[in-house]
Amino acid sequence: MFFNWLEREGLVEVSPFRVRVDIPRLPKSLPRSLGSTQVAKLVSACRRDTWAGVRNYAMLLTFVDTGVRLSELLGLDLSDLNLGEWSIRVRHGKGDKERHVSMGRRLHRAMRAWLSARGVSVVEDALFTSRNGARLDKRNVQRILQRITDRAGLQDVSVSPHRLRHSFAVQYIRNGGDPFSLQRILGHSSAGTTSIYVNLAGRGLREAHAKASPVDRLGGG
Could you give the CA distance from residue 24 to residue 208 in angstroms, rounded to a whole number?
Answer: 37
Q: Is the pLDDT of residue 26 over 60?
A: no
Counted domains in the chain: 1
Predicted confidence at residue 142, as pLDDT, reads: 95
Q: Is there a domain that residue 105 lies in? A: yes
Sign of CA dihedral 205, 206, 211, 212: positive
Q: What is the CB neighbour count within 10 angstroms for residue 123?
A: 9
What's the whole-model pTM score?
0.77
Tens digits of residue pLDDT in 38-67: 999 999 999 999 999 999 999 999 999 999
Predicted confidence at residue 139, as pLDDT, reads: 95
Predicted confidence at residue 217, as pLDDT, reads: 64
Q: Is there a domain that residue 216 lies in? A: no
Q: Is there a domain that residue 151 lies in? A: yes
Predicted confidence at residue 121, as pLDDT, reads: 64
Give me the phi and psi of 88, to 5 degrees please: -125, 130
The closest of 32, 51, 56 to 145, measured between CA atoms, is: 56
Q: Is there a domain that residue 219 lies in? A: no
For 124, the domain range is: 36-203
Q: Is there a domain that residue 134 lies in? A: yes
Q: Is the pLDDT of residue 162 over 60?
A: yes
Q: Is the pLDDT of residue 70 over 90?
A: yes
Predicted confidence at residue 187, as pLDDT, reads: 87
Q: Is the pLDDT of residue 130 over 70?
A: yes
Predicted confidence at residue 24, as pLDDT, reads: 62
Q: Is there a domain that residue 55 lies in? A: yes
User: Which domain CATH number covers 87?
Assistant: 1.10.443.10
Q: Residues with catalytic annotation?
A: 69, 94, 162, 165, 188, 197
Instruction: Map residue 129 onto helix, strand or coil.
Output: strand
Q: How large a percentage of the chain has pLDDT more than 70? A: 81
Predicted confidence at residue 18, as pLDDT, reads: 73
Highest mean pLDDT of the ranges 6-10, 143-147, 168-172: 143-147
Q: Is there a domain that residue 21 lies in? A: no
Q: Is there a domain that residue 5 lies in? A: no
Listed range (31-45, 141-155, 184-198) with the worst mean pLDDT = 184-198
Amino acid at 94: K
